[in-house]
Amino acid sequence: MNQAAFLSPPPSAVLTNAFADTLDNAVATARTCYAPRIVTAEEVGRDDRARELRDRIARDTYQAGHHTTLQHATFQFAVTNVSRQLLWAFLHAHPFYNSEQVSQRYVAVQPGNAVVPALPERPLALYRATLDRQQAAYRQLCELLLAPAEAEYFRLFPGRRSDRPRWLPQVKKKAQEIARYVVPVASFAHLYHTVSGLTLHRYHRLCESIDVPGELRLLVDAMVEAVRARDPLFFRDIEDPLPLEATPEHALLEAHGRAPVGGERARRFNRDFDASLGPWRSRLVDYKVNAEATLADAVRGTAALSRDELSDGEAIRRVLSPASNRLLGESLTLTTLSKATRALCHPHYTFRKKLSHTADSQDQRHRMVPGSRPVLAAQYAGGEPDAIVPDLIARNPEALDLYQGHLREVFGAIDALLDAGVPAPSALYLLPNAFPVRFEESGELLHLHHKWTVRLCYTAQEEIWRCSLEEVRQVREVHPRIGEQIVPPCTARDLAGIRPTCPEGARYCGVPVWRLPLERYERLI
């Protein structure tokens, strides 16, 4: 699919920083493995004979799958005109990247700033009209939610009420954070995105993604061409993209006769999935039964201690309590570099969870806690709206009426576009941020500990905060000696004797969380 498939501006990827002589550098690293000294990139390309050797090594190592040499070269792109759907479906759906993107929590969504596919006249008019209605609903919700957000904010900070103009921008951000649930996943984002040369090769090979094949192909082509302009040799042996039909997701859907969207099958799946969650947003469905004993053994092993010298409970406390392991109070995550703390890699937990698209877009940034996220179209049932309702909206009748009425209009428009033959990836760009993502997520305690610590902070995105709270409560039930040591950052700093207790500074939530037991955690904004 080319740019003619879109009426909106094409994805842009400007190469802002990059390695020099990327192919020469990759081959220099390969030659160094078999040399008595460091081989430099300058040597690799200094004459015809060296270049002939370089080309042979580059080709042979690539074809043999020895790809670590390509990871040294790093490319930073300034990316614009990409949808939130593309970020969720591809750019942030793997562990080997870094992004700093514009936040819809803190930056107001601007009208007309969204993907517009090239459609026939009548579907296009409906698509554009729906985008306009979504923007109007966003503005209305920002206004409707201001009063309840303000009431809660000044309940937390009564001393700030006398200086209302100073703090009103913070209150508006709280309302804006919830109003964004009606914003479509078509909305544009801008970001810095940094990847290795190996990841960029992988992007190109799989750029025919089932969720956003047209938009993604344009972005990846722009990235590859930007690197080619910098070093024409780096992608000389690049493989052609796999056709969409060769991807396992497409084959799985085809094997079971699935239409482009889920329909009635999706409705049954969603109903069964939601029933399996019971009262939870995130339900613990699997874990290592002997996790506490294994963790204790691993801690003892780092210091060659016997059980007589260090009991299971004391071993767990030594590595998991911030009062004993001061690394846990550090803002710089050091746990993967500490021999004792790496023992946390042995316990493992799996959760079945349901998050809105916007919350999951933040949840997936915890790249070492991977999830098996769905083909979004497969979980779209159509008909009645399928959406997460934030608490601030649920507790405000006027906002709730607006929210539910608006969602009925949007889902009706999507169904009409699909009935008119609009391809699913194009029609589903109109899905609101509130659309639920249902999936399983797993991780080692080492990485879940980091996630839970930062996401138990009251300033974390509300849905992820609630899921983290539920997950820690369930871990406490099956592994109490592990679970009782999992605390938010302010509590960790308090136990470690680090001051100030709250690491957020001016963003302090207003609640002395470090003085509260987990059972008393609650929040509205």
Domain ranges of the chain: 3-103+187-253
Name the band, by pLDDT with cuts 50, 70 and 90, for residue 261. Answer: confident
pLDDT at 452: 97
pLDDT at 282: 98
Burial of residue 175 (number of CB atoms within 10 Å: 0-12, 13-18, 19+): buried
φ/ψ bin of 213: left (φ > 0), alpha (ψ from -120 to 50), beta (otherwise):
alpha
The least confident of 288-297, 305-314, 328-337, 396-405 is 328-337
Q: Is residue 182 a contact partner of residue 432, using CB atoms and an 8 Å limit?
A: yes
Percent of the chain residues topping a pLDDT of 70 = 99
Query: CA 440, CA 282: separation in Å to the nearest integer?
Result: 9
Both tokens of 521, joined, read 């955690």
426-483 per-position pLDDT tens digit: 999 999 999 999 999 999 999 999 999 999 999 999 999 999 999 999 999 999 999 9
Instruction: Find the mean pLDDT for residues 143-159.
Output: 94
Query: CA 182, CA 185: separation in Å to the nearest integer?
Result: 9
Q: Which residue carries 């609009």 as its tokens?
A: 422
Is the pLDDT at 404 greater than 60? The verdict is yes
326-354 per-position pLDDT tens digit: 999 888 899 999 999 999 999 999 999 99
Which are the contacts of 121, defined by CB distance < 8 A and separation ≥ 6?
none
480-516 per-position pLDDT tens digit: 999 999 999 999 999 999 999 999 988 899 999 999 9
pLDDT at 259: 67
Which are the contacts of 521, defined by CB distance < 8 A and separation ≥ 6?
456, 469, 513
pLDDT at 357: 98
Is the pLDDT at 260 greater than 70? The verdict is no
* SS3 readout for 447-461: HHHHHHHHHCCCCCC
Q: What integer best gives the mean pLDDT of the chain? A: 95
306-331 per-position pLDDT tens digit: 999 999 999 999 999 999 999 998 88
Question: Can you name the CATH fold of 3-103+187-253?
Answer: Gyrase A; domain 2 (3.30.1360)
pLDDT at 209: 84
Both tokens of 49, joined, read 């004979």
Q: Which residue carries 């570099």 as its tokens?
A: 337
* Position 107, amino acid: V
Burial of residue 407 (number of CB atoms within 10 Å: 0-12, 13-18, 19+): buried
Q: Is residue 21 a contact partner of residue 45, using CB atoms and an 8 Å limit?
A: yes
Q: Which residue carries 């999830």 as its tokens?
A: 371
Q: Which residue carries 């003085």 as its tokens?
A: 515
362-395 per-position pLDDT tens digit: 999 999 999 999 999 999 999 999 999 999 999 9
